[in-house]
Amino acid sequence: MKKFTAVGYIWTSPNTTNANEIVKEKRQKIGEYCSENNIIFKKLFKDIGATGSVISRPQMMEMLNYMKENKIDFLILDTLFNLGRRFHDAVLVLNEFRQNESSLISIQEDINTKTEDGKMIINALFRIPQLEQWTKKATQEQKKRAKEILYNGGACPYGYMIDEQSNQYKIIEVESLIVKRIFRERASGRSLRQIAKDLSKDSIATKRGGRWQANTIKTILENPFYIGIYVYNDIVYRDCHDAIINEYTFCQINEQNQKLISIVKNSQNTPSE
């Protein structure tokens, strides 16, 4: 019976303060997975505090070459978050594993691109028009446009953009003033509808260029992203980007929302990775 081989990969953001502990924990999880599944664990690659596109990170590039030269069967991740905070970070790497003989395993998401279920998930993902455009061979300008489409709206909250050089979330100063205004006016007792009406009256556009609605205001007020907290799949990450609003103001506005207050309080003891 053939023994499969694997390497592991871990990335931590530049803001991570306990990188060594995180690497140790994730290394253990990957090692345990290999032991349980009769896989030979060959090497761990780590991009600690690396910025820029995931494919251009030093250890990522070295790992991809190592896998090809040594005919490694699997890249194993503790979670797809090991690839980065942005959706297209995962997309870029997944696309690499659609085009070679090696496969990718993500433990937390239970994805294995070698299995039929895994292949079906990935193939379905890459049929999404925006992602298809991103992964095709294209000029840098085409890729830039694809990224702008990908980050227009929900994936990148109002007040933020993706920095082209660092590939990190960056505050848009003009929009951040509007976010602060929304929180300030809500704290003074104004209704969601009144705030939305005045923003539209002042000819201030939303992220998508439209008119403000009460639900848009509510979404901003209830988004912990504005205090530097990133929530995904019930996992809370701190200090992944700069905050626009302080925690006191956020909790004051949302004091009746126990779920949000719990996220803020619990995140104080949650690792940033």
Q: 219-230 pLDDT, tens per residue? A: 999 999 999 887
pLDDT digits (tens, 9 = 90+) for 59-109: 988 998 899 889 999 999 998 888 876 666 777 787 777 666 789 999 988
- Alpha-carbon distances of 6 from 62, 89, 248, rounded to whole Å: 15, 21, 46
Instruction: Answer whether residue 192 shows pLDDT above 80.
Output: yes
Residues in CB range of 40: below 8 A, 6 or more apart = 3, 4, 5, 6, 34
Domains of the chain are 4-135 (3.40.50.1390), 169-267 (3.90.1750.20)
| Pairing between β-strand 235-238 and β-strand 103-106 as defined by DSSP bridges | unpaired
Residue 142 CB partners (closer than 8 Å, separation 6+)? 133
Q: Is residue 213 scored above 80 in pLDDT?
A: yes
Which residue, chain included where needed, has tokens 């994730």? 26
Measured N-to-C along each axis, helices 192-201 and 214-221 cross at an angle, to the nearest 10 degrees, of 110
